[in-house]
Chains A and B, each alone.
Chain A
Amino acid sequence: MTTIGLYLPGSSPLHRARAGHKLLVLVVAGAASVFLDEVWQVAVALGIVLVGYGIAGIPLRTALAQLRPLVWVAGFAALFHVVMNGWERAVVVLGVIAVLVLLAALVTLTTRTTDLVDALVVACRPLRRFGVDPERVGLMLALGVRCVPVVVGLAEEVRDAQRARGLGASPRAFVVPLIVRSLRHADALGEALVARGVED
C-alpha cells in the first residue's frame, strides 16, 4: 500500500539531477508559492509540475496517489474557504497545496534517500560550529522516511488485534497500543543503531 513518495528507479534527467539542486528548487518553490494568487497562476504551476512527472516518466496514477493522504485535510480546508472566501480562493489554496505536495513527491520519487541524506549533510555542514552534527541530521531524515511504512505496519497490527478481540473502533484502544508499540520499536531501533556502529 504505502508507496507514497518512495524512490522509483529511472534514468530521466530528473533522476540524474543532483539531489542538492532538487532540494533547492523545492525550497525556492515553497517560498515563491505565497505569491500565487490567481487561479490561472496555480493552473500554470500545476502544469509545470505535471510536465516534470512526464519527464521523469512517472505514471499519472502514481502522481495522483501522492495526493491521497491529503484528502481529509484538503476537504476541510476546501469547505472552510468556500464558505468564508468563495470558491476561487478555495481553488487557489488547495491548488497551491497540491502543487507543493506533488513537487515534493517528485523530488523523493526521483532521488534515492541516500542522496537526499548526503545533500542534507552537506547543507548542514556550516551549522557544525553551532554544535550540530550533520551526519546525525542526515540519519534523522533517513530514519524518518524509513519509519513511515513501519508505523503504518504497526497501526495495521494494532487494528487487527482490536478487531480480533471485537473492540470495534475505540480510538483509545487504538492509540495507546500504537504508541506503546512505536516506543518499543524506537528502543529496538536504537539498539540496532548502536550494534551497527552509529554511536562509535
Chain B
Amino acid sequence: MIEARGVGHAYGDRTVLRDLDVTLTEQRIGVVGANGSGKSTFARMVNGLVLPTRGRVSVDGLDTRSQGRDVRRRVGFCFTDPDAQIVMPTVAEDVAFGLRRRGLSKAEAKARVTDALAAYGLADHADHPAHLLSGGQKQLLALTSVLVTEPALLVMDEPTTLLDLRNARMVSGVVAALPQQVVLVTHHLDLLDGFDRVLVFDEGRVVCDDAPGIAVAHYRSLMGATS
C-alpha cells in the first residue's frame, strides 16, 4: 500500500507536484500525463529516490524519508532507458548484482539467477554481453534484475517508451503476469487495459483518478484541448 499525504515537490522555485493525497491499494495502477506533469517525480517518490519537499510518502507504513533503505528493498524500480540501469557487462552478472549483500550463499544466488533468467526468456543469453541485446531484451534484463530481488511492489517509469510495439507488448505481457502490486507510468495507453485504477497528472496535480476507460478518456480530451 502506497500512501501520499499532503505531498508537494519543487526543484528550486519550479513546483512539479502539489497537494497530492492518495492511497494506492489496487494491484494494477496506471499513471499518465503530459511530459513535465509530475508523474515521473511521483514515481520516484514511491521508492524514496525523490523525497518530497512537503508532506510524506509511505509504503506499507514505512516512511520513504526515515526508512528509505527498507522502502527500496520492498519497491523495485524500472527506468525508461535500460542502458542506464544495467550495471554489469553480461546478462547473468547483472541479474546477480541485485543479490549482492543480501546474505545469500553463492549457490543460492546462482540458482535464483538461473531461475529468473529462465522465467523471463533470457536463459540463452546468460553469458552474452548486455550491450549486444536488442532494446526489448535489455528492458527485459533490467526488469529481471529487479524482479530477482523479489520486491513486494514494482514501479515502472515509462518502461516501453523506447520500445517498438512488439517489445512493448512483450514487456507488458510479463508485467501482467506478475503477482506484485505494479505502478506503471506510461504513454502507451493501451497497456492500461485491465488496470484497476489510473491517475492522470497535469501540471503537478492529479486531475482524474478513476477506472482506465474514464481516466484515459479524460487524458485524451485534456491533451486535445491544450494542443
Residue ranges of A at the interface with B (Cβ–Cβ < 8 Å): 2-3, 6-7, 9, 112-114, 135, 139, 142-143, 145-146, 149-150, 153, 185, 188-189, 191-197, 200
- With A185-B83, A196-B97 known to touch, is A113 a contact of B90 (CB < 8 Å)? yes
* In the complex, B86 has a CB within 8 A of chain A: yes
Residues of A within 8 A of B84 (CB): 185, 188-189, 191-192
**Chain B interfacial residues counted at CB < 8 A:** 30
**A-facing residues in B53-82 (Cβ within 8 Å):** 68-69, 72-73, 77, 79, 81
- With A3-B129, A114-B93, A196-B98 known to touch, is A142 a contact of B87 (CB < 8 Å)? yes
Which residue on chain A has the smallest CB distance to residue B85?
A192
- With A188-B81, A191-B49, A192-B79 known to touch, is A146 a contact of B86 (CB < 8 Å)? yes
* In the complex, B182 has a CB within 8 A of chain A: no
Is there an interface contact between A188 and B79, defined as CB atoms closer than 8 Å?
yes
Is there an interface contact between A192 and B73, defined as CB atoms closer than 8 Å?
no
Which residue on chain A has the smallest CB distance to residue B100?
A135
Is there an interface contact between A197 and B129, defined as CB atoms closer than 8 Å?
no
> Which of B49, B81, B89, B149 has a CB less than 8 Å from the CB of A146?
B89
For the complex with contacts A149-B129, A197-B72, 5 further pairs of A-B residues with Cβ separation under 8 Å are A7-B127, A114-B93, A114-B96, A153-B83, A189-B84
Is there an interface contact between A197 and B77, defined as CB atoms closer than 8 Å?
no
User: In the assembly, what is the distance between CA of A185 and CA of B85, in Å?
Assistant: 10
- With A3-B129, A6-B129, A188-B81 known to touch, is A195 a contact of B47 (CB < 8 Å)? yes
Residues of A within 8 A of B49 (CB): 191, 194-195
* In the complex, B131 has a CB within 8 A of chain A: yes
Which residue on chain A has the smallest CB distance to residue B96?
A114
Most buried by A among B47, B77, B84, B86: B84
User: In the assembly, what is the distance between CA of A169 and CA of B145, in Å?
Assistant: 39
* In the complex, B130 has a CB within 8 A of chain A: yes
